[in-house]
Structure 1
Amino acid sequence: MSMRRESFLAHVQERGEYETAEEADRVARVVLALLGAHLVGTVRAELAARLPETYALILLNPLQAAEPLSPERFVRATAAWIEGATEETALWDIGAVLSTTAAAAGDVLIREVLLQLPPGYDLLFGHPQLA
């Protein structure tokens, strides 16, 4: 059963401490588009099935990554796509979106997702932490 869009966004907004749902939506779209480029096959399909349709489609039609990005480069790429972002704010944005995604997906599926990603992504799926 997938999480409803309002519920997903409310979680992202709360975790990221965004003033509006629009801001939460903007970061969710960027982070999930970048994440989708790193996932393949049934794992990507299963993760999409747990997300609201809007975000499932973004995950399934991602920005094409020429190569898997290290966590550091994922953060840099996110910062580049979000207007006015720095690497610090992008790290926060990623944490808000991916911790919500992890909650929607559950531990078993997230472990499978992490197996497809370069080392270090487990930290990005944790709750956002202030540096």
Structure 2
Amino acid sequence: MTTLTPHDPAPATPATAIPAPAAGRDRIRHHPRHRRHHATGWRELIDAVRESGQYPTRAEAESVTRVVLSALGGHVVGDERVDLARALPEEAARVIASQIPAPRSLTAAEFVDSVAARTEGATPATARWDVSSVLSVLPPLVGDALVTRVLAQLPPGYALLFGRAELAPAG
């Protein structure tokens, strides 16, 4: 791998600056710009969701991830949607980007209910678990700044789904 000093010109191709995948669980914390180049990015995301939600199989974690990301894709718009898709592995980006924007914003509870309606046999409680299992793994993947921008677009209540405290404005 080429090491650059502040006085070195940029490498001829971006691929020369991409680090090798890290060993172990820390692989999921790659810089978002670099992760899209790794074929394992989607698998790492699914593994993180599987661990977060304690799903018994990778297939179940993948199904939950697709449902939640497709629901989210309809509610995040503009630059935040583009940046979110860019920061995620390619397969996740396709799921987000393929959604038609929702006609109205859903409250966090309505969002969870919409995920329950998309998931066979789900209850509001299991859907909340699924949503939190997926959304809570996104901040380390895409960065806290982008999550903050996404949350600013959404109605109050979503922060908890992303694993953040929801602070009420001082009144």
- TM-score when normalising by structure 2: 0.71
1:8 equivalent among 35, 45, 55:
45
Structure 1 CA distance for aligned equivalents of residues 80 and 113 of structure 2: 25
Residue 28 of structure 2 corresponds to none
Q: Which amino acid aligns with 2:51?
A: E
1:49 equivalent among 67, 81, 86:
86
Q: Which amino acid aligns with 2:126?
A: T
* Rg comparison, structure with higher value: 2
Residue 156 of structure 2 corresponds to 119
Structure 2 CA distance for aligned equivalents of residues 65 and 23 of structure 1: 26
* SS of the residue 1:85 aligns to: coil
Q: Which amino acid aligns with 2:49?
A: V
**Residue pairs, 1:1-131, within 5 angstroms:** 1=33, 2=35, 4-126=41-163
Give unmatched runs, 5+ long, in structure 2. 1-32, 165-171
* SS of the residue 1:66 aligns to: coil
Cα separation, partners in 2 of 1:8 and 1:76, compared to 1, 3 Å: same
Q: Which amino acid aligns with 2:108?
A: P
Q: Which amino acid aligns with 2:114?
A: A
Q: CA deviation at 1:66?
A: 2.1
> Counting helix residues as a fraction of each chain, which structure ranks higher?
1
Contact 1:33-1:63 at 8 Å conserved across structures:
no
Structure 1 CA distance for aligned equivalents of residues 89 and 98 of structure 2: 14
* SS of the residue 1:126 aligns to: coil
Q: Which amino acid aligns with 2:44?
A: S
- Count of aligned pairs: 127
Q: CA deviation at 1:63?
A: 4.8
Q: CA deviation at 1:103?
A: 1.9
Q: Looking at both structures, which has the greater relative contact order when contacts are Cα pairs under 8 Å and sequence separation is at least 6?
A: 1
- TM-score when normalising by structure 1: 0.91
Contact 1:35-1:59 at 8 Å conserved across structures:
yes
Q: Which amino acid aligns with 1:68?
A: S
